[in-house]
A and B are shown apart, each in its own frame.
Chain A
Amino acid sequence: MDIKEIEKELKKYPFPESVRRDIREELAKLDLNKKSLKKIIDRCYEEYLSNLMEPGEAAGIIAAQSIGEPGTQMTMRTFHYAGVAEINVTLGLPRLIEIMDVRKTPSTPIMTIRLQDDYSNDRKLAREVANRIEATYITDLADISVDITGMKIILFLDEKVMERKQVDKDELVKKLSKSLKVDVEEKDGKLYLSPKEPSYRKLLQTVEKMKDIVIKGIKEIRRVIIRKEEGEYVLYTEGSNLKKVMRVKGVDYRRTTTNNILEIAEVLGIEAARNAIIKEALDTLEEQGLNVDVRHIMLVADMMTNDGEVKQVGRHGVAGEKVSVLSRAAFEVTVNHLLEAAIRGDTDNLSGVTENVIVGQAIKLGTGDVELISKLGGRSK
């Protein structure tokens, strides 16, 4: 039986895409007639339905427990070296907390940059791209000394490094004279910089300023490491700037990511951010050998992103969510919350679980969410 027929039959059932793919793969291996195909899919559908979560189930609490319990087994502080490339990555519990807290910048921002076809197989070209990305400062290229009597700064250029980093000397001269407003003179491999206004203070200021100039590359990217992975060169960076890196020539922007979730949200949108949260959280858990079902993490990621911006989940739940007075009072500093609510004249709609427990009502969950009506007309059997 061909794939098309199987696909046609599968389309009649509302399977999620991943389940459909799995069934299709398995069915393709078998040689079936139409009748048994139908039977198998029918049985699969039955199984699928019995595995769905029932309405009324406390999905959030189950997700929280399913992430929380393995979380207790995580090593508190782990600093790990990712493979051979000696990039320092925050992992384990600190990283998981970071993801949930949605910090503006992760403590160890890292980018994975993949290259376009013609660049990804050539070490030299990959190096070129890396040079375009990595921030290069003057201290990397030259030794600095100050000539006080001549009121000059002397740069002893390191030709070898210059060549490796592919920095053009003329360009460097231009860049320095423009951004520092100095006269630059070149004499046998040395650069002489003289400020326009001859003062000792100005001279030292210029030196400091010069150290901060990014000669080449992207400011945020402190280091680039080239690794060969699955037959292609991949760049790993310390520091992250997705927007700029995606524009660099030779970079395959479709396969380039960062571990900074907020940056992804900004550059690629909220759906991408949701996927990034799922991926990052799952990776940190898996790295510790903990297997948490994706769906728990998906639920959390959905809650964090469903209103179009990434919100953090902390101990007060998802940030920005309106919380009832009673449930806040049940959590911390009871009297203060109640007092302030009384002063403001707040109302409580008793919509949450905690509030209803306090008042002594059935909660809107599980058995408490079932509405009974009488079935008139006597026996059905």
Chain B
Amino acid sequence: MEIKTDDKSRKSSKSFPTGYTRFEKARIIGARALQIAMGAPVLIKTDRTNPIEIAMEEFNKGVIPITVRRRRDRFIWLEDKGLL
């Protein structure tokens, strides 16, 4: 079972976690930084040269084409308990 992981939809819903967790954020930036370091085209205009910094800037702008899959059986969702 998959859940919508689009950042915008998650912020409006009351389910937890609302945004990316810090682990997810680190993982996404890490993966993107690796791509950039290996020569992938950068998606933003920037003066930075450090791939990690570029990845972070891309993340903050929300242009990284990567997201996470969350499985229902891995997390406890507050909505599932009929609390909302």
Contact = CB atoms under 8 A, between A and B. Distances in A.
A374 B18 CA distance: 20
Interface residues of B, number: 34
Given A367-B27, A370-B27, A370-B68, 8 more contacts: A13-B84, A55-B21, A373-B66, A374-B67, A375-B6, A375-B65, A381-B62, A381-B63
B34 to A, nearest CB: 11
A367 B16 contact: no
A380 B21 contact: no
21 contacts: A13-B84, A14-B78, A14-B83, A14-B84, A55-B23, A55-B74, A55-B75, A55-B76, A57-B23, A367-B23, A369-B23, A369-B74, A370-B23, A371-B68, A371-B70, A372-B67, A374-B65, A375-B6, A376-B65, A379-B63, A380-B6
Contacts of B26: 367
Interface string A353-381: 00000000000001101111111101111
By Cβ-Cβ distance, the 4 closest A-B pairs, closest first, are A14-B83, A54-B21, A370-B27, A375-B67
A379 B8 CA distance: 13
Interface of B: 6-8, 16-18, 21-24, 26-28, 30-31, 43, 61-71, 74-76, 78, 81, 83-84
B65 A56 contact: no
Contact of B17 (A55, A371, A379, A380): A55
Contacts, number: 73
Contacts of B84: 13-14
A379 B64 CA distance: 8
A372 B68 contact: yes
Contacts of A379: 43, 62-63
Contacts of A380: 6-8, 62-63
Contacts of B65: 374-376, 378
A63 B40 CA distance: 42
